[in-house]
Structure 1
Amino acid sequence: MKSWTSKQLKLFNEISAIQNRPYNDDGVSFQDNPIWVVVNDKQVYLRGGKGTDSKWYQAGIKNGGEIEVAGQTFKIKYVSVDNESEIAAVTVAYNQKYHGQYPIDMMVSDKVAHATVRLELR
């Protein structure tokens, strides 16, 4: 597994959102949505706002995708997180980064927390 560089992690911490582009079954991105991103323990995380029922979440887990940040595109694998302590740490990261912003309450809810994915470089 390739690791995110310290420069990339710093960028993810500084920006509000990235462009999320999961692939459909044909290997083509079917969506291009901005999404909040957090870093914890040198890993990058997203959450599906509609929980695990989210179309992008399901397609991303199955097919991978890409993200874009500051004009840079990265091919990624979405890895579902089921470790409760890792999910809790990501919730803390969301609360710290997006405190007071809408829809932070939804993004740290149990339903959404269980749609946490770790982004791994491909």
Structure 2
Amino acid sequence: MASWSEKELVAFKEAQTLQNRPYNDDKSFAEDNPVWEVTVDKQVFIRGAKGIENTKWYQAGIKNGGQVEVAGKTFEVEYQPVKNAELIKQVTAAYNKKYQGQYPIDLMVSEPVAKATVAVVKK
């Protein structure tokens, strides 16, 4: 796995959203939609707003990988579920800081959604 460069991390930090494109089994896109993203410790994180079981892109991405786009650049990625409770808390704090006062921040920092946190790992 490749690491995100400092320039790429800055692009993620400055962007309101990234374009999320997880693959289906046939390598078509399961979805192509903007999602909120945050960075913590030189990693990029996104969350499934409907939780683990009901977020289609979460299921497809974990299984098949996909692409994300930010600041006009597209990256092949893997989606790695985050199970570490402390890291999930740090990601929640980053969401609260970046998206404070925006709708639907209350949903995105709720416990069911926090459990659907994934690290977006550059291939």
TM-score range, shorter chain: over 0.9
Q: What's the % identity of the aligned pairs? A: 57
Shift of 1:71: 1.3
SS of equivalent residue, structure 1 residue 117: strand
Structure-1-length-normalised TM-score: 0.98
**Corresponding residue for 2:38?**
38
Does residue 8 of structure 2 align to residue 11 of structure 1?
no
Give, in whole Å, the separation in 2 of the partners of 1:60 and 1:30: 8
Structure 2: state its 5+ residue gaps: none
- Whether the 8 Å CA contact 2:30–2:56 is kept in 1: the answer is no
Give, in whole Å, the separation in 2 of the partners of 1:76 and 1:29: 13
Q: Supply the AA of the counterpart residue of 2:25.
A: D
Structure-2-length-normalised TM-score: 0.97
**Corresponding residue for 2:101?**
100
CA-atom RMSD in angstroms: 0.6
Give, in whole Å, the separation in 2 of the partners of 1:91 and 1:107: 8
Q: Supply the AA of the counterpart residue of 1:2.
A: A
Structure 1: state its 5+ residue gaps: none
Deviation by residue 1:47-91 (Cα, 9 ceiling, x = unmatched): 000010201000000000000112110000000000000100000
Deviation by residue 1:11-69 (Cα, 9 ceiling, x = unmatched): 10101001100000011213110000100000000000001020100000000000011
**Corresponding residue for 1:89?**
90
Matched positions, count: 122
Does residue 72 of structure 2 align to residue 71 of structure 1?
yes
SS of equivalent residue, structure 2 residue 87: helix
SS of equivalent residue, structure 1 residue 68: strand
Give the stretch that moved more between structures: 12-21 or 22-31.
Answer: 22-31
SS of equivalent residue, structure 2 residue 4: coil
